[in-house]
Amino acid sequence: MDHFQYRDGILYAEDVAIPDIAAAVGTPFYCYSTATMTRHYQVLAGSLEGTGARICYAVKANSNQAVIRTMVELGAGADVISGGELQRAMAAGATADSIVFAGPGKTRDELAQALAVDIYQFNVESEPELRLLSAVASEMGKVAPVSIRVNPDVDAGTHEKITTGRKQNKFGIPIDRAMDIFDLGASLPGLAMLGVAIHIGSQITDLAPFEEAFDRALGLVDELRAAGHDIKRCNLGGGLGIPYSGETPPPPAEYGAMVKRLTANRQLDLVLEPGRVLVGNAGILVARVIHEKHEGRRFVIIDGAMNDLIRPAMYDSWHDIVPVREAAPDAMISAADVVGPICESGDTLAKGRPMAPLAPNDLIAVRSAGAYGAVMASTYNSRPLVPEVLVRGDTFAVIRPRLDIADLIALDQPPPWQSP
């Protein structure tokens, strides 16, 4: 359920007509709905009620300050993957004690930065990282709260590039090595070995791999406790999928019920790291048709491109594309490739989509673009990053302005041997 609906044939975000935003900010632009984010957060949080689970929003999905702040105001903490994300999360109001730091390649500086502010937890992914964290924490006179991210060797059944929980993936410590790592951690200075963490991938649309992975992680908690480790926490990661086009991911209520069933009576502080499920369907990318080209195939050429939304090019992912002004019921529908102006064939947002005819300047909306959209954008082809707009009720605000090409050029510095 989202808040992008047609009214009298025009697409609205909550109570704001998309053409009004386009007139104010130009195209392309990202548009997010506060009500949708709020609803998604509340449904997920509601499904976990009574578990005491912390929802640490995976800010990598959408790290605009206003989006993080929306989540923080709803009660979320933050899951961060870099020193930059740590700073972003804190700048948006996340308190350090609600932040978990994940990722397979944290640098010494990043560890020190997180130790300095006393974050809730480090999800440690390797033995060298554990040793480094111990050394840095000891130098700083700190005790680092540690969960070990284990790799449960479960196939999440998702896209090759976003599955993380199989043993050939770079993430975590193989679950059968976990006991040794906890023993090592317990013997090193500067570490509090508190918990087990997992994250098996993203856009998972089936409950079974989650259950299998959680079961393995919780089995490990039992073994570690039996061996004398005082395990207090379990971090269940993110990964819950969303409907992009007819998928039927498990409803949060079922996911929550499963988490409750598996964790009951285990006395664990739970952490979840959802990203996509909170923001994915709360965003659209709005673009304008430049023109149609008919040369054997029908191409709809728009002013949005792969640099603005790279998911179709990178993961062959599907995003519904709809006209902002609804087509007439008797419009001639035919298959079209929706493409951007970038000089490569990968710059295709959709292939062979049934669409009504579009005229120059018509607006289209690429749906489900709230997660891994703006954050993965680049300035390829010297296309400045596009604005982001947040809607709340009948108002909207630009939460990131369009970058100016002059500012982009000004980032380059001439070497001393070239005249400026």
Residues 6+ apart with CB under 8 A from 68: 57, 59, 78, 88, 89, 92, 93, 94
Task: Please select the residue that binds ligand LLP; options are 315, 326, 356, 402, rule is CB under 6 A.
Answer: 315
E-only strand ranges, 220-261: 233-235
Considering the complex, what minimum distance in angstroms separates the CB of residue 106 from ligand LLP? 12
Task: Please select the residue that binds ligand LLP; options are 53, 61, 115, 377, rule is CB under 6 A.
Answer: 61
What would the x/- binding string for ligand LLP be over residues 277 to 296, using CB under 6 A?
Answer: x-------------------
Which region among 179-187, 195-203, 214-222, 244-252 touches ligand LLP (by CB under 6 A)? 195-203
Nearest to 60 by CA among 217, 199, 208: 199
CA 348 to chain CA centroid, Å, is: 22
Considering the complex, what minimum distance in angstroms separates the CB of residue 270 from ligand LLP? 14
Concatenated DSSP letters of 352-387: EEEE----TT-EEEE-S-SSSSGGG---GGG-PPPP
385 contributes a contact to ligand LLP by CB under 6 A: no
43 contributes a contact to ligand LLP by CB under 6 A: no
Nearer to ligand LLP, 106 or 311 (CB): 311
216 contributes a contact to ligand LLP by CB under 6 A: no
Mode of pairing for the β-strands spanning 29-33 and 233-235: unpaired
CA distance 66 to 94: 12
Residues 6+ apart with CB under 8 A from 129: 104, 106
249 contributes a contact to ligand LLP by CB under 6 A: no
276 contributes a contact to ligand LLP by CB under 6 A: yes
Q: Is 343 among the catalytic positions?
A: yes
Q: Which ranges in 127-206 belong to alpha helices (H)?
A: 127-140, 178-187
Token pair recorded at residue 34: 């506060």
Task: Please select the residue that binds ligand LLP; options are 273, 347, 362, 388, rule is CB under 6 A.
Answer: 273
Which region among 3-11, 135-143, 270-278, 387-395 touches ligand LLP (by CB under 6 A)? 270-278
Nearest to 231 by CA among 174, 349, 148: 148
What would the x/- binding string for ligand LLP be over residues 83 to 102, using CB under 6 A?
Answer: -------------------x
Assign residue 361 a region: left if phi > 0, alpha if psi is -120 to 50, beta otherwise? Answer: left
239 contributes a contact to ligand LLP by CB under 6 A: yes
Considering the complex, what minimum distance in angstroms separates the CB of residue 252 from ligand LLP? 12
Three-class SS state of 178: helix
Token pair recorded at residue 379: 């300035």
CA 179 to chain CA centroid, Å, is: 31
Considering the complex, what minimum distance in angstroms separates the CB of residue 222 from ligand LLP? 23
Task: Please select the residue that binds ligand LLP; options are 40, 288, 311, 392, rule is CB under 6 A.
Answer: 311
Contact residues: ligand LLP, CB under 6 A: 58, 60-61, 79, 102, 162, 199, 202-203, 237-240, 273-277, 311, 315, 371-372
Which positions are annotated as active-site residues?
343
